[in-house]
Amino acid sequence: DTAVSQTPKYLVTQMGNDKSIKCEQNLGHDTMYWYKQDSKKFLKIMFSYNNKELIINETVPNRFSPKSPDKAHLNLHINSLELGDSAVYFCASSQGGFYNSPLHFGNGTRLTVT
Amino acid sequence: AQSVTQPDIHITVSEGASLELRCNYSYGATPYLFWYVQSPGQGLQLLLKYFSGDTLVQGIKGFEAEFKRSQSSFNLRKPSVHWSDAAEYFCAVGDDSNYQLIWGAGTKLIIKP
Residue B34 has pLDDT above 70, yes or no: yes
Residue B88 has pLDDT above 80, yes or no: yes
pLDDT at position A51 is 82
Map residue B73 onto helix, strand or coil. Answer: strand
Residues 6+ apart with CB under 8 A from A112: A10, A11, A12, A13, A86
- Mind telling me how many Å the CA of A106 is from chain B's nearest CA? 5
Query: Which residues of chain B have a CB within 8 Å of the CB of A43?
Result: 44, 90, 103
Residue B59 has pLDDT above 70, yes or no: yes
pLDDT, average across residues A81-95:
96
A92, A69, A89: which is closest to A78 by C-alpha?
Answer: A89
Residue B62 has pLDDT above 80, yes or no: yes
Q: In A, what residues contact B, Cβ < 8 A? A: 4, 40-43, 45, 90, 92, 97-100, 102-108
pLDDT at position A32 is 94
pLDDT at position B30 is 73
> What is the per-residue pLDDT across A8-58, written as a single tens digit (0 to 9) for each?
999 999 999 999 999 999 999 999 999 999 999 999 999 998 888 887 777
pLDDT band at B100 (very low <50, low <70, confident <90, very high): confident
Return the amino acid letter for A5: S
Measured between its terminal Cα atoms, the distance across chain A in Å is: 34
A67 burial (CB, 10 Å; 0-12 / 13-18 / 19+) is: middle
Residue B29 has pLDDT above 90, yes or no: no
Calculate the average pLDDT of chain A: 92
pLDDT at position A1 is 66
> What is the per-residue pLDDT across A18-32, written as a single tens digit (0 to 9) for each?
999 999 999 999 999
- Could you give the CA distance from residue A92 to residue B31 in angstroms, rounded to a whole number? 21
Percent of chain B surpassing pLDDT 90? 81
B90 Cβ under 8 Å from any chain A Cβ: yes
pLDDT at position A24 is 97
Calculate the average pLDDT of chain B: 93
- Could you give the CA distance from residue A31 to residue B35 in angstroms, rounded to a whole number? 20
pLDDT band at B101 (very low <50, low <70, confident <90, very high): confident
